[in-house]
Amino acid sequence: MLNGTLRLVGAPKRANWDDRIERLARALEESDAVVIGAGAGLSTSAGLTYTGERFQRWFGDFIDRYGFTDMYSGGFHPFGSFEEHWAYWSRCIYCNRYVKAPGSAYDDLLALVRDRDSFVLTTNVDHQFQLAGFDTRRLFYTQGDYGLLQCSVPCHDRTYDNEGTVRAMLAAQGYVEDGAGGLHLPEGVRPRMEVPSDLVPRCPVCGKPMAMNLRSDDTFVEDEGWHRAAGRWADFQRRHERMRVLYLELGVGYNTPVIIKFPFWRAVAGNPRATYACLNLGEAVAPADIERQSILIDGDISAVLAALRDW
């Protein structure tokens, strides 16, 4: 891909972490700018898991009724009514968008780049960067936002914040304020699996059902905020094209490699002063063409970031 046939090289195992973390710490210190490319693996490492205890705690009733095995696949279920659909999705939105990740990965990452010229490009839709305190003017959420609704048609290109609606939906299911601004289910209470019909969101323009602002097909709305962020990202790239840029890729897989992974590889191949760092459990690879410019660490992202912060 970069020079004819693409040949990938992988990272060594944990025994070599110290050397690679030292190289990464040096690359970070010497960089003129840092570009963070974040995928689902970063949020998973931070504790936003879609299976296990967290899934059981929020969706035990849906698991019992439908046999769902994970939060993600449950979202594609053809529920029998909008009222049930939004009972499920309001919980999914709330626990992934309005609750800060329990782990330290995002906080550690912010500490590492807080005083540096940096930009975040991410396919995640949970806005954990924003909850951790990253500058919103340096974030580009390419695939949408759990916190936004759009017309399902769509009849126009505006999006709408959903926090108030989502909180009202959870309250209607039996969730209550916990005293710190969060919501929880009182002990012994089984939540309702439907929301009132008057809480089902409909487009204020055409009256059709609203949908999540998530890129899954050609109905995804790229609103004014999306285009502003895209413009800032393009400007950042132009201003740093030949500088010492550290491209720090965190937990990016191969579902949408054309958004982060492939552009990072091309940018580093075209700039001999750039460095590519890939932190990913089981998938830390780089093209052989840029092996000398690459730092590959096969391990848990949270553990690596914590070690880097303490270096």
Residues 33 and 57 in one domain: no
What is the arithmetic mean of pLDDT over 214-218? 94
**Tens digit of each residue's pLDDT (9 = 90 or more) over 104-136:** 999 999 999 999 999 999 999 999 999 999 999
Partners of residue 139 on adjacent β-strands: 120
Residue at 12 is within a domain? yes
Does residue 101 contact residue 47 with C-beta atoms inside 8 Å? Answer: yes
pLDDT given at position 17: 82
Residues 188 and 254 in one domain: no
Residues 34 and 131 in one domain: yes
For 60, the domain range is 49-100+163-200
pLDDT given at position 3: 53
Mean pLDDT of the residues in the chain: 95
pLDDT of 20 strictly over 80: yes
What is the arithmetic mean of pLDDT over 42-65? 97
pTM comes to 0.95
What is the arithmetic mean of pLDDT over 17-25? 92
Q: CA 297 to CA 15: how far, in whole Å? A: 11
Q: CA 244 to CA 234: how far, in whole Å? A: 17
Residue at 16 is within a domain? yes
Residues 16 and 88 in one domain: no
pLDDT of 41 strictly over 80: yes
pLDDT given at position 14: 62
Residues 181 and 59 in one domain: yes
pLDDT given at position 6: 83
Q: CA 200 to CA 79: how far, in whole Å? A: 14
Residue at 248 is within a domain? yes
Residues 74 and 134 in one domain: no
Q: CA 265 to CA 249: how far, in whole Å? A: 10
CATH of the domain at 27: 3.40.50.1220
Residues 137 and 286 in one domain: yes
Residues 55 and 81 in one domain: yes
Residue at 261 is within a domain? yes
pLDDT of 1 strictly over 80: no
Residues 268 and 289 in one domain: yes
Residues 124 and 255 in one domain: yes
Residue at 153 is within a domain? no
What is the arithmetic mean of pLDDT over 152-158? 98
Residue at 152 is within a domain? no
Residues 176 and 302 in one domain: no
Banded model confidence at residue 181, pLDDT cuts 50, 70, 90: confident
Residues 188 and 289 in one domain: no
Residue at 260 is within a domain? yes
How many residues appear in the chain? 311
What is the arithmetic mean of pLDDT over 143-170? 98
For the chain, the domain total comes to 2
Banded model confidence at residue 4, pLDDT cuts 50, 70, 90: low
The token pair that represents 270 in the structure block: 């075209």
